[in-house]
């Protein structure tokens, strides 16, 4: 059995990790840490786990964590990089669900996250954990940088077009919407139901922290620089991301439906819908799937891709488990075969 530790188990991604890891057939959860809740039963905080998990939160202890085969960090940005070098030196594998190792350039990290990187020398060891792009590298990785939620939806939507060189890379647009759980579990006025309920707004239009991550991904697939306009929005719902992506086509003769179907035909967690379909966020609620549809309105030169995920699953905890499965030679789908919740 794989021995698992979780650092920072009290946020939404932490409890989602627990929900998905508890029934996983190949592992045992050994440690769940929280400085603020140390000593408290996990089920006191998360009653949905009652009868499934008998652990208490504990203070982070590197020596205890190094006894695990893999440690998940479900912590705020800037936390994992303080502990990861010691864990790697001890032979423990790490999956970071925050942004500490997603950007390859430490100066870019400092620009967007407002702090110097604590271990820039480790950045070269990190593998960006989007299996549909880096599957073979993830299998041999010791440190995986789990992608952000917006970057997952946007990257998977644009990937077939950029890899095939079919669009103008200088004018890409990502219009993305997220449920309020994407803001985390920390109390904030903007996430209160009385503030966001029955309302809808854009935010961070001048620049969102996920912008450099998305641009890094798209540039890699395009083999060159890209021009990206990324605008996130807040939806009055708990879970889900819907990304509407726009690009101008250079070659109007391409069969876009076939392109997307061929690209993702062997991907267990990417579902290309039939031509003319419109994916809904509710169709992926609670599961690790990304559902995609591709359109060319009025047969013009603009291609529109619709990409939906659950921000807490394929956008966070589920993808982290998918990465873990790959790192340990397990069936990639292990523990992730649930059916989406409806209604």
**Tokens read off for 242:** 């819907």
- Does the annotation mark 149 as catalytic? yes
pLDDT at 124: 95
Inter-residue contact 178 to 235 (CB < 8 Å): yes
Domain ranges of the chain: 2-146+316-327, 150-309
Distance between CA atoms of residues 2 and 4, nearest Å:
6
Inter-residue contact 19 to 29 (CB < 8 Å): no
**Identical fold at 2-146+316-327 and 150-309?**
no
Dump strand ranges (E) for 24-171: 27-33, 70-73, 93-96, 126-128, 143-145
Q: Which helix (H) or strand (E) holds 176?
A: strand 172-178
Pairing of the two strands 70-73 and 2-7 = parallel
| Domain at 150-309, CATH homologous superfamily | Dihydrodipicolinate Reductase; domain 2 (3.30.360.10)
Mean pLDDT by groups of 10 residues along the chain of 343 residues: 95 94 96 93 94 94 96 96 97 98 96 96 97 98 98 98 96 96 72 80 95 98 97 95 96 93 98 98 98 96 98 98 98 96 90
In DSSP terms, 221 is beta-bridged to: none
Instruction: Give the number of other Cβ atoms within 10 Å of residue 141's Cβ.
Output: 21
Distance between CA atoms of residues 204 and 210, nearest Å:
10
The angle, 0 to 180 degrees and rounded to 10, between the axes of the packed helices 210-222 and 106-113 is: 150
Q: Tell me if residue 138 falls in helix, strand or coil.
A: helix
Distance between start and end Cα atoms, the chain? 35
Cα diameter, the chain: 63
Q: Which of 149, 169, 196, 290 is catalytic?
A: 149
- CATH 3.40.50.970 assigned to 2-146+316-327: no
């Amino acid at each position: 059995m794989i021995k698992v530790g979780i650092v920072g188990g009290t946020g939404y991604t932490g409890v989602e990790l627990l929900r998905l890891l508890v029934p996983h057939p190949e592992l045992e959860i050994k440690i769940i840490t929280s400085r603020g809740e140390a000593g408290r039963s996990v089920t006191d905080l998360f009653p949905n786990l009652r009868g499934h998990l008998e652990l208490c939160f504990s203070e982070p202890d590197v020596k205890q964590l190094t006894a695990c085969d893999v440690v998940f960090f479900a912590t705020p940005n800037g936390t994992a990089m303080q502990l990861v070098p010691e864990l790697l030196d001890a032979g423990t594998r790490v999956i970071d669900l925050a942004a500490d190792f997603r950007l390859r350039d430490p100066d870019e990290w400092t620009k967007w996250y407002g702090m110097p990187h604590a271990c820039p020398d480790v950045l070269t060891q990190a593998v960006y954990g989007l299996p549909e792009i880096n599957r073979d590298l993830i299998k041999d990785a010791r440190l995986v940088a789990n992608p952000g939620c917006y970057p997952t939806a946007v990257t998977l939507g644009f990937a077939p077009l950029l890899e095939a060189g079919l669009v103008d890379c200088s004018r890409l647009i990502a219009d993305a919407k997220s449920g309020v759980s994407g803001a985390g579990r920390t109390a904030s006025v903007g996430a209160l139901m009385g503030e966001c309920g029955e309302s809808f707004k854009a935010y961070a239009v001048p620049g969102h922290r996920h912008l450099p991550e998305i641009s890094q991904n798209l540039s890699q697939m395009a083999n060159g620089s890209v021009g990206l306009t990324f605008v996130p929005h807040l939806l009055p719902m708990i879970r889900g991301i819907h990304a509407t992506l726009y690009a101008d086509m250079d070659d109007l003769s391409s069969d876009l439906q076939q392109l997307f179907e061929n690209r993702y035909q062997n991907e267990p967690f990417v579902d290309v819908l039939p031509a003319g379909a419109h994916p809904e966020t509710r169709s992926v609620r609670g599961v690790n799937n990304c559902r995609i549809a591709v359109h060319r309105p009025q047969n013009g030169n603009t291609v529109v891709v619709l990409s939906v995920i659950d921000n807490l699953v394929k956008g966070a905890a589920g993808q982290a488990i998918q990465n873990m499965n790959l790192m340990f030679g397990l069936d990639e789908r292990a523990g992730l075969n649930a059916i989406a919740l409806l209604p």
